[in-house]
Each structure stands twice: as structure tokens, then as C-alpha cells.
Amino acid sequence: MLNFWSKKTMMGNAKIKPITFSAAASIQQWKVPAGVRKIHVDCAASQGMNGGRGGRVQCDLKVSPGQILYIMVGPVPSSLDRAAYNASDIRIGGSEYSNRVIVAGGGGNASSRNAAGGAGGGLTGGAGSAHGNAGAGQGGSQSAGGAGGTCVPISVGHSHGGNAGVQGTGGAGGSCGYCGTWGAGGAGYYGGGSGGAQWNKNGAFAAAGGGGSSYTKPELCSEVVHTQGFRSGAGYITLS
């Protein structure tokens, strides 16, 4: 999606008509109009499946006229155990994760045992909820993915440890006929870890995933405000 509408102002920077990008499965594009050197960004991520709310980043972003911004607004995940990209971000200079200059972290997925997913956003995403002996996935940070959930050792039964998040995406969850489904972590600058699961003499337990972290590139972003656990449903990005 391209938008070229702009209007000159007395300050030497053009004024653009606000434009909002909704959740989509693929990257969208926007070309910076002539005369525009700074835009205000309102970037909100999607929630996890039945899970934590997505984070929000508000800031001013330095841009150059004619520059292409790559816009990604990941949708709400469709499976509890799948590590889907539900973060929202802006990329400059390319479409890879390494080109992201603004990221709002997505919420972690819930488990089939109704453990709540962690909130996305903030410099460190929120942890998911534990369930019985099954530990929760932790939130992603500015330098690493969140740890996967661990389980209290038992003598009879079996356990499934969670997977750590990585740059961009959360750790994958899983499903077991005895334990149920444990939630995947939310996407973000670094993704949240998935929950763990366990089956023992006391019952079946499955924990939730942690939320992904948000991020802004210091050299390009100013007036930054982070809000953790802001958005229910699908995310968005508004440029103005």
C-alpha cells in the first residue's frame, strides 16, 4: 500500500494525512512523501490466541523523502501452540528482522488449561501464567528471547519443557494427549518463551507463553512511550 499525499507547512516539513495499516499476513509498504522528514508512529501489536494483549509503542521517527517503509502488522495467532508473528513493526532499508526500527511486542498464547498468556510490549514482555507443576514462558527482553517454562521434577508421569523465544518470534508450544496444549510465546523484538506441560498423579497441567518485547532504534526514534498489554484483538500501525 503506497501513499503520497502531503501538504507543505511553514516549518519546512510536510504534513501528511494520517494513514492506518491493519493486520495482514505479509509486509506492506509506504513511501515517504516529498518534504517529510519526521512522522509520528502509533504502533500496536496483536494479542496472543486467547491470550495476553499486544504492546504499544508511540514515538516520532526520522525519515527521508522518498524512503520506503516496510510495514508489518502480524495477525492474532490461529493456534495455541504455534509461534506466529503477531508483533507490529516498521523496517527501513530492507524487509528482514534486522531492518526493524520500531517493534511492538505481541501477547503470548494461552494454554488449553486456561492459563493466561503474558502481556506483550515494554522493554521486557510479560510472563505467562503457570499451571500446577508446569512453569510459564517468560517475556522477551532487549537482548534475548524469554526462557521456556520448566516443570517441577516428579517420580511418576511425564513433563514437556517450554522452548525459548528468539529474535523476532516466540518459542513454539506443543500438544499432548495427556497434558493438553501449552501456549507459544508472543513475537517481538525478541519473542517470549512457551509454557511447559506435565501429567502426573495430581492431574494434567499446561502453562502459557510469555509476551514479546518492544523496541525503538535510538538513532531514529524520539519521544518514545511504551505501553505493555495495550491491545485486544488485531494490531495496527498509524502514521501521522
pLDDT in tens, the chain (240 residues): 444 444 444 345 778 889 999 999 999 999 999 999 999 999 999 999 998 999 999 999 999 999 999 999 999 999 999 999 999 999 999 999 999 999 999 999 999 999 999 999 999 999 999 999 999 999 999 999 999 999 988 878 899 999 999 999 999 999 999 999 999 999 999 999 999 999 998 899 999 999 999 999 999 999 999 999 999 999 999 999
How is residue 159 written as a grid cell? 513433563
> Which DSSP category does 131 fall into?
B
Give the per-residue pLDDT at 153: 80
* pLDDT of 79: 97
Q: Grid coordinates representing 43?
A: 504502533
User: How far apart, in whole angstroms, are the C-alpha atoms of residue 16 and residue 102?
Assistant: 20
- Of 86, 103, 101, nearest to 186 (Cα)? 86
CA 4 to chain CA centroid, nearest Å: 29
pLDDT at 204: 95
pLDDT of residue 6: 43
The three cell numbers of residue 106 are 505481541
Q: What are phi and psi of 35, to 5 degrees?
A: 85, -5
pTM of the model: 0.92
